[in-house]
Amino acid sequence: MRVPPFFLAASALFWGWHVQLPVLGMAMALAIEGRRVVDSRWRFTPSDFARIADLCTWAFVIVAGYLSFTRGMPIPVLEIFMWMPLAILPLLLAQLYSESGRLPLSALFLMLRGGTGDTQRIGDVDLSYPFAAVCVLAAGTANLRQDSYYGGLVLLCAWALWHARSPRYRWYVWAPLLACASLAGYAGHVGLNRLQGIVLESAIEWLSGSSARTDPYRSMTDIGYIGELKQSDRIVLRVRAHGDLALPLLLHRASYDVYVSPSWIARDAPFSAVAAEPDQSSWDFGPVPAAPVRITIAEHLQRGKAVLSLPAGTARIERLAMQEMQRNRLGAVRVEGRGDLAVYDAVFAQRRAFGPRLGGGDDAPRDTDLRLPALEAAAIAHIADELQLRGRTPQAALAAVKDYFERNFSYSTYQSARRSGATPLADFLLRTRAGHCEYFATATTLLLRAAGIPARYATGFAVQEWSPLEGAYVARVRHAHAWVRAWVDGRWIDFDTTPPAWFAVEAGEASVLQPIADLWAWVAYRYSRWQDEDPAARAITAAVLIVPLALILIWRLLLRQPLAAARARREAAAVAHDRPGADSEFYRVEAVLARAGCARARDEALSAWLTRVARERGDIALEPLARMLRLHYRYRFDPRGLSATERAALSAQARDWLAAHARIGR
């Protein structure tokens, strides 16, 4: 199928625009269209195409490894696809600038390559339309959610289809059909966009652990999950304390006030902007306490966005240069900026209680903070009556609830099938009495509400593991934690009823390969810090990645083959020098005839060849050549060789013949 003019350049521009790399897209388009001003084409052999394909493969592997190293999974899955057009561009340019204008299949499939290294041309393909399709798919990974993407996609498809349409269909028939298909496709485009968000969110939770990514509006708990709950050992936070630090330190990400099993929801909690200080790196949430505690937190961003992990009562954040910061009334703080890593200082009062203006935007209680879900109300009321929570002071109610869980419950990451007719939470309270932190936090929140104490479900991380390798405290995905925020004496306090043994239980299930993974994570973290702190880091990294690839390409395309050919000639000459009769003057005669267009076929005998030469060329007599050939054969293969007289005769006959036929080899 013929490719329309400028179609590939337009595809490259489409990709560059949507991934926000317009200059790179323009450079790709110019490189593609440069073939129109180049007078000559290059003669690429199948082996040359194979070497370029191998180079593209290595470039793709290096980019994938770099993204996985610096970003962590699974976000690089999308970013790898985003860079695919650039990875296969050298192969496309080789096709466009070649004499054949097509790509041998052997360049793409190892199984079609010969085992000796000689790659033959076994069928051809045109990479043009696949490259355009890759550009379109890669542009979609940017996920900018703009209608311009679908509009550009329709134009590119129409451009290609117009040149491939059947002449039987007039434009006034073809255009309405395309318009109908485009409108129908737009509905599918919107649906796929929504499905992508659902799948991406599920994939992130599955690959990196359910608590590594926080949704400030909704928390899907594992309450009701049957079987062993496994979480990753991957490090997601690093904390350095400037002074004494009380452990465990709870770093809050989000709170929720409405429970609809098995989810907690943040009702009526929109985000509002937080104003930055003049230095654009400091953010105030309230007055700094008299004896503040300062910690440095390092956590990874996902495409420049994150919900921050902050200790209770954070009054100020420093050294955090972000484009925007927002917070909601439930204490969640989210930021948006650039880079893959956020390293900032949190200033707070080291206490469990904090005022309504100090907890990252926390406000006074609402009616939702006392609401009990209908399905769990009976079980909650039963336990509340058993503990006589109603009528007690808040401090007494909290003490009774904590004592109740400590004496009667245990921590477990395994859940068996629940009793028929009972909700997962009711089964936990009335029968199994074993569960993970989400069970304890949810049950405690609802019990306190039954006692008339406003309470919220809080999520974040519990920090208490010291890493000698990093010289800091670390929090892993399995350290994700849930606890309660209760309103006591006009303040919100953090209240945790999960048995303290949970940390040791989780640590006991760590992989034996955890030290190796920790070392890798530490190297990746130090590299990310270097990139953020040194403006030249990215240029150095690009040079380290690109220069070796360029040298490999130069070696394989320009140097390796000539050097190998020269080495083969030297080896052949050395073998010929040691072979009897290798200095026969008859070889000079053979070379002259070959230059004259009478080359001998590989499987053609010398005698038959000379007969053919004499028949085809009337100016060449057979008899002198036959006499030379008889002496040459004896010189080459007779164990006795030639006498001195015969050897001189062979040399003289060849010399006389070459002098007589000097014109035919020119």
- Whole-angstrom distance, CA of residue 297 vs CA of residue 346: 7
Distance CA 605, CA 376 (A): 98
Characterise 226 by phi-psi region: left (phi > 0), alpha (psi -120 to 50), beta (else).
beta
Tell me the CA distances in angstroms from 471 to 248, 296, 465, 618, one per residue in order. Answer: 17, 12, 11, 92
Structure tokens at 622: 């057979």
> Which region among 19-23, 274-278, 449-453, 620-624 has the lowest average model confidence (pLDDT)?
19-23
Comparing 156 with 116, which gets the higher pLDDT?
A: 156
**φ, ψ (nearest 5 deg) of residue 635:** -65, -35
Identity (one letter) of the amino acid at 328? N
Distance of CA 603 to the CA centre of its chain: 54
Report in angstroms the alpha-carbon separations of 65 from 69, 70, 547.
6, 9, 17
pLDDT tens digits along 299-346: 988 777 889 999 988 999 999 989 899 999 999 999 998 777 899 999
Query: pLDDT digit string (tens) for 119-166?
Result: 555 678 888 888 988 888 888 876 555 667 778 888 888 888 877 777
Contact 463, 249 (CB under 8 A): yes
Residue by residue, DSSP assigns 258-305 as EEETTEEE-TT---EE-PBPTTSS-EESSPPPSS-EEEEEEEE-BTTE
Q: How far apart are CA 436 and CA 441, in angstroms?
A: 9
In tens, the pLDDT along 495-548 reads: 999 999 998 888 888 888 888 888 988 888 887 787 777 777 666 766 776 677
- pLDDT of amino acid 363: 79
Predicted confidence (pLDDT) at residue 206 exceeds the cutoff of 50? no
Q: Where are the alpha helices (DSSP H) in 6-113?
A: 7-18, 22-33, 46-71, 76-82, 84-96
Q: Amino acid identity of 291?
A: A
The fraction of the chain above a pLDDT of 70, given in percent, is 81
What's the rounded Cα separation, in Å, for the pair 506 and 149?
46
DSSP state of 297: E
pLDDT of residue 197: 52
Q: What is the pLDDT of residue 410?
A: 94
Q: At what angle do helices 437-450 and 377-387 cross, to 10 degrees?
A: 70
What is the CA 439 to chain-centroid distance, rounded? 35
Strand order in the sheet with 258-260: 218-220, 263-265, 258-260
**pLDDT above 80 for 12:** yes
Could you give the 3-state DSSP secondary structure of residue 59? helix
Question: Given a cut of 90, is residue 297 above it in pLDDT?
Answer: yes
Given a contact cutoff of 8 angstroms between Cβ atoms, the answer to whether 97 and 37 are in contact is no
Position 213 scores a pLDDT of 56
**Entry pTM:** 0.58
b/e string for 466-491 if b means 16 or more Cβ within 10 A?
eeeebebbbbbbbbbbbbbbbbbeeb
User: Which DSSP category does 375 fall into?
Assistant: T
The mean predicted confidence, pLDDT, of the chain is 81
Q: Rounded to an integer, what distance in angstroms lies between the CA atom of residue 522 and that of residue 467?
A: 10
Is 7 a residue whose pLDDT tops 80?
Answer: yes
Phi, psi (rounded to 5 degrees) for 300? -80, 145
Q: Where are the beta strands (DSSP E) in 309-355?
A: 310-311, 314-318, 324-327, 333-336, 341-348, 353-354
